Amino acid sequence: MKETIKRTTDRGRQAARKAVAAIPPKTRSQVQAAWNFIREPALTILLVFAATTAVARPYYVPSGSMEPTIQIGDELLTSKFAYGYSRYSLPFDIGPASPTRLLQRMPTRGDVIVFRLPRDTKQVYVKRLIGLPGDRIQMQDGNLWINDKRLALKSGGTGMVEGENGEMVAVPRFTETLPNGRTHEIFKMQWNGPLDNTKVYVVPPGHLFMMGDNRDNSLDSRVAPEDGGVGFVPMENLIGRADVVMGSVDYLNAHSLLEWPAELRVARLMKPVR
């Protein structure tokens, strides 16, 4: 049997050599020249495709729901390997739907996460992870409660929040401490707004609870999908963890493309996302 397979393989190789030899030298030369011409661009495209699929990908932020942590115009570098991979890690969302992820790792409370909006997976959102599966989340008088404990808030003076019309407004800034000890800054302008007193949200298995740091200007998991909000986010919808601000341009205050270089926020270049 092995001898038969060997003879068949040898005949196949000989046939392939004859087929190549039958190609006119000029045609072979043209094919080789074409391959030499496209080889490096093709390899570059392949490497970029592999990197954006498996390693990291940039995302542009057009809204201010995560101010002061992330500003309008920031370009985020997102680590796609942080939580494993789902169909939303792949170009064109190819792959089967699944409640679990390949090489899945549970996010850490306080991570800033880029994800697909559950009610419209064509949209990409970025929010901070507040609640893990089984957590009880509630807002009372503008304060965040997790598992029946109110989170500590420390006043940090004021900060400038940018509206989506480019207008800058000074608002109170606070440092919030999560149950695991991680801290982050938030903006809080009022304490009796429509999202400042909520029901208790119990995060279901395989889902996460997300909130924006600009607490009074964020449609997040506090708002149900049927009301235009985010609701609970399935683990499958995660794209990756936002780690670094690669660049930032305040295009809202630029009146033309020629003014964009002047609106570059140099201080935010390669700024870690905390």
Catalytic residues: 65, 127
CA-closest candidate to residue 54, choices 85, 87, 96, 88: 85
Q: What is the spatial distance between Cα 7 and Cα 215, in angstroms, rounded to a whole number? A: 74
- Kindly tell me the burial class for residue 96, based on how many C-beta atoms sit within 10 Å of its own C-beta (0-12, 13-18, 19 or more): exposed
Name residue 150's beta-bridge partners. 145
Q: How far apart are CA 211 and CA 230, in angstroms?
A: 9
Rounded distance between C-alpha atoms, residue 273 and residue 248, angstroms = 13
Placement of tokens 């991680």 in the chain: 182
Query: Which residue matches tokens 């994800």?
Result: 115
Distance in angstroms (rounded) separating the CA atoms of residues 145 and 139: 6
Please choose, from the candidates 182, 154, 151, 187, the residue with its C-alpha nearest in 3D space to the C-alpha of residue 169. 187
> Cα(70)–Cα(82) distance, rounded to whole angstroms?
19
